[in-house]
Amino acid sequence: MPSGSPTSGVGRVVAGRYLLLNRLGSGGMGHVWLAHDQRLACEVALKEIVFRDPAEADEREARVARARAEARHAAGLRGHPHVVTVHDVLEHEGLPWIVMEYVAGAVDLRDLIDRHGPPAPAECARIGLAVLDALTAGHERGVMHRDVKPANILLAPDRSGAPHGRVLLADYGISVQPDAGETRYTLASALVGTAGYLAPERVTGGAPTPATDLFSLGCTLYHAVEGRGPFDRESHLAQVTAVVMEEPRPAARAGALGPVVRALLEKDPARRMSAAEAEAALSRIVMPEADAYARTRTDLGSQPHWGGAPPGTPITPMTPITPMTPMTPESPPPSEPVSGQRRTRPRILHAVLAGLLGLALAGAGAWYAVDRESDPGGSGRPYGDAVGLGDPLKAGDCVLADWPGTSAFRGTPRLRLDPSCREQAPDGQVMAFVAAASAAEARREGPAACEERTEAIRERLADVRGYAVVPSEAGFEAAGGRTACLVLGAHGPVFGPLGEHRKAGSAFADTATMQRRDCLDVRSRRDARLVSCADPHDEQVLGFTRLGADATLTEARTESDTACAREVPPRDYGFDPSVYTAGSWTSEGSWKNGTHFVVCTVRKQNGGTMEGDEP
């Protein structure tokens, strides 16, 4: 059972006063419960801190401190009409619980959009005006929210009876007062904020300012009116990269709200729309005849216009970077870690942290499947004419994928086999199969089942996606009635076998096939081999980070150790810092495809071998 979670759930009494009635929801820090205050005979909301993984116990102090900080910051805004009121913070069985206002009938903006579709631009402006009012009140106290997004905006009935008339900003859990010199309680494995809603200057290591919250507000308004975020991509890293390097997708439904959103999404904070300008612009949309600088009110507007329009269009997969050139024997293999080097310029994207890269990027993004409707496969080929294979795929087959057009993961790829799994730098490998009773069942259930079957391997790799190759109607029998579950490089080849198809003692041709918890036998500056972690080994892979777009491969080989020591510190994985130190591996492949991934490892400071006694 997770540490800190109630042993009996509903019916438990916290701090001798609050009777838990039911769970309202869960978030990054824990659960929120509806509770009855037995002393005042009223209902309240209790936020409970939860450690879902034993490894998180090491972060207990920081998590507890963050909870206290959330209560302190939100309590400073007590009584504001657009901020969820915090009443108290208490400790129960050694962990803090935050006692908050219970907002009856509330639903968060993200869920509302998912269920009913985007509201009209004027209604989005009304919501934005209320959130802006809450943010401004915090900014006047020196408090930045740092996580403005649709899920943190609650809509509830107001006194007039409008079901979504009341707008509230929630969750000050990662807020900070930068001028107060207070500790910023963040987790080493978590992104401070939400990918796709962070301001570019925060991604690149800048301090939180009112302008960073305004950028997040712009992302939120875009999501509200369009049904998806302006930088929605198939992975967290892709979203973070898009925030820094790409312009938001043009808004199709924004109408009069469009110019406001564009001005809030200005990447240069010095040119970004100010709070006063945003307030004036939003007020003109909500109340055209009203004073441009009038403050929003709790009863502003009437019942929101939540039409029956379907939710926003599906997320379009990110256009990937041009596929990389396969590594040649003349190209340098992964470099040996170089310790003791300090970077000379701030190239690292601080917000792209180890846990985010290793987990979210690895496979939590979109899942892709061959479109059978457009390729019935009249020839009887197992997967249709577009895929082109004459024989069914087998477990461990390495494939090369030729995509139509210029963008990978769009349309149906033509697949070819690479029997050697190395000679032609394969794009991916068959990792599992899903059997079905019919071609229709394969189309219906194959992709989701493949996603589940390959989740573990995708989470251990830095830059891959899943792809389900579904049998065609005519080729169902030839395919053995099975959907083939592939794992493909997200931005280029994988340069060799993956997962269990790798053999002990085999040399890594590129860092693309290095996985979390791999143990390495380092034979030279250019030669690392996969070995069993039960045997003596020189290094172990902990995770991944990324260097900035302007870092060259030569520079990376001197900067990567420092980046890994900061972003993926071995101590966070239980390694004694007096004995172990951070190492890193880079390769030409991730520089040719533009991802600039670095594999972060741990090794002994004295250069000795690790022999199974590590955490």
User: What would the two tokens of residue 263 be?
Assistant: 């001005």
pLDDT of residue 69: 64
Q: Which residues are annotated as a binding site?
A: 47
Buried b (16+ CB within 10 A) or exposed e, 297-306: eeebbeebeb
Superfamily designation of domain 107-286: Transferase(Phosphotransferase) domain 1 (1.10.510.10)
Site of tokens 């009112």: 210
pLDDT of residue 80: 85
DSSP 310-375: PPPPPPPPP-PPPPPPPP-TTS--SPPP--S---SS--S-TTS-HHIIIIIIHHSS--EE--STT-
H or E segment to which residue 224 belongs: helix 210-226
SS (H, E, C) 484-540: EEEEEECCCCCCCCCHHHCCCCCECCCHHHCCCCCEEEEEECCEEEEECCCCCECEE
What is residue 285's three-state secondary structure? helix
What count of other Cβ atoms lies within 10 Å of the Cβ of residue 15?
13
Q: For the chain, how many residues are written?
A: 615
Report the alpha-carbon distance of residue 394 to residue 233 in Å, rounded.
31
- Distances in whole angstroms, Cα of residue 446 to Cα of each of 370, 435, 470: 10, 8, 7
Question: Which residues of the chain fall short of a pLDDT of 70?
Answer: 1-8, 27-29, 50-76, 160, 172-192, 288-379, 612-614
Q: Quick check: 142 and 179 in contact, CB under 8 A?
A: yes
User: Fold match between 13-101 and 107-286?
Assistant: no
pLDDT of residue 388: 92
Q: In 3-state terms, the chain is what percent helix, strand and coil (to 5)?
A: 30, 20, 50
What count of other Cβ atoms lies within 10 Å of the Cβ of residue 526?
12
Residue type present at position 82? H
Residue 150 CA to chain centroid, in angstroms?
Answer: 15
Q: Write down the catalytic residue from 53, 114, 133, 147.
A: 147
Report the alpha-carbon distance of residue 558 to residue 147 in Å, rounded.
34
Q: Which residues are annotated as a binding site for ATP?
A: 47
147 annotated active-site:
yes
Interval 345-392: pLDDT, tens: 222 233 333 333 333 333 333 344 444 343 444 457 899 999 999 999
Q: Where are the domains of the chain?
A: 13-101, 107-286, 326-349+516-615, 359-499
Q: Quick check: 216 and 148 in contact, CB under 8 A?
A: yes
pLDDT of residue 602: 95
pLDDT of residue 64: 62
- Overall fold of domain 13-101: Phosphorylase Kinase; domain 1 (3.30.200)
DSSP 387-417: T--SS---TT-EEEEE-SSSSTTSSPPEEEE
